[in-house]
């Protein structure tokens, strides 16, 4: 039963992929059928945020214990989170094309914040690869990871809520749940969030096992 989350994640994602296309959705101006992207775009971002949160947790654990396994976990969680940011960005850009009539707009602070957050984490990976000493690399990476996470939260969670934004739930723009996330959508949306988070944990588990084997092989 230790692999229950893999089975649960697979079932939930398949359920949302299928019924996300078949289930009825509210008929809204501009959004129309594109509202179904809520089942994919938003849960993928939840998975990204979950992994980045795990990454900073293990970074703090490494700084307090010095255990290399926590460093490996922090680095791999950041990689998985970054991996999920790509489909999150692509599905968001596709959604913007059909609702805002553009693939990208610099007038939306959340889109700009996402771009900045991605660049900050790219710098994290570059910084980590540039330090040869293992202990020094782990310490610098952990400290930078904390900075990167805080900046990510500021740019994609805080600033968009303080300024005008096209995104639902930001800058005075009401969130989906306030006016159109009906009970039929909730039956798919919440399982989708849980499913993608569990899938991200599965990917992290595989990466961790590979990283630990590589670490043992290089010792």
Contact by Cβ (8 Å): 118, 160: no
Q: DSSP assignment, residue 181? A: -
In tens digits, the chain (219 residues) has pLDDT values of: 578 888 999 999 999 988 888 877 777 666 677 788 888 989 999 999 999 999 999 999 999 998 889 999 999 999 999 999 999 888 888 887 877 787 877 777 778 888 889 999 999 999 999 988 889 999 999 999 999 999 999 888 887 777 765 666 544 444 555 445 667 788 889 999 999 999 999 999 999 999 888 877 776
**Exposure string for 106-138, b = 16+ CB within 10 A, e = fewer:** eebbbbbbbeebbebbeebeeebeeeeeeeebb
Owner of token pair 């289930």: 23
Domain layout of the chain by residue ranges: 4-218
* Cα–Cα distance, 77 to 48 (Å, whole number): 9
66: left (phi over 0), alpha (psi -120 to 50) or beta: left
Residues, the chain: 219
């Amino acid at each position: 039963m230790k692999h229950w989350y893999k089975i649960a994640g697979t079932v939930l994602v398949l359920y949302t992929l299928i019924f996300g296309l078949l289930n009825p959705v509210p008929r809204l101006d501009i959004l129309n059928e594109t509202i179904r992207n809520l089942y994919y775009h938003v849960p993928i971002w939840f998975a990204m945020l979950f992994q980045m949160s795990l990454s900073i947790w293990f970074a703090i654990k490494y700084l307090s214990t010095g255990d290399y396994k926590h460093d490996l976990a922090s680095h791999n969680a950041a990689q998985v989170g970054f991996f999920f940011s790509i489909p999150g960005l692509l599905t968001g850009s596709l959604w913007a094309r059909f609702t805002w009539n553009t693939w990208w707009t610099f007038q939306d602070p959340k889109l700009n914040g996402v771009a900045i957050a991605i660049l900050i984490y790219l710098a994290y990976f570059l910084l980590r690869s540039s330090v040869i000493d293992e202990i020094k690399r782990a310490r610098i990476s952990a400290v930078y990871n904390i900075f990167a996470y805080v900046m990510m939260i500021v740019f994609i969670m805080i600033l968009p809520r303080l300024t005008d934004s096209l995104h639902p739930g930001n800058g005075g723009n009401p969130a989906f749940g306030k006016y159109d996330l009906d009970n039929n959508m909730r039956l798919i949306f919440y399982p989708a969030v849980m499913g993608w988070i569990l899938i991200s944990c599965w990917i992290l588990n595989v990466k961790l096992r590979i990283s630990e084997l590589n670490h043992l092989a290089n010792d």
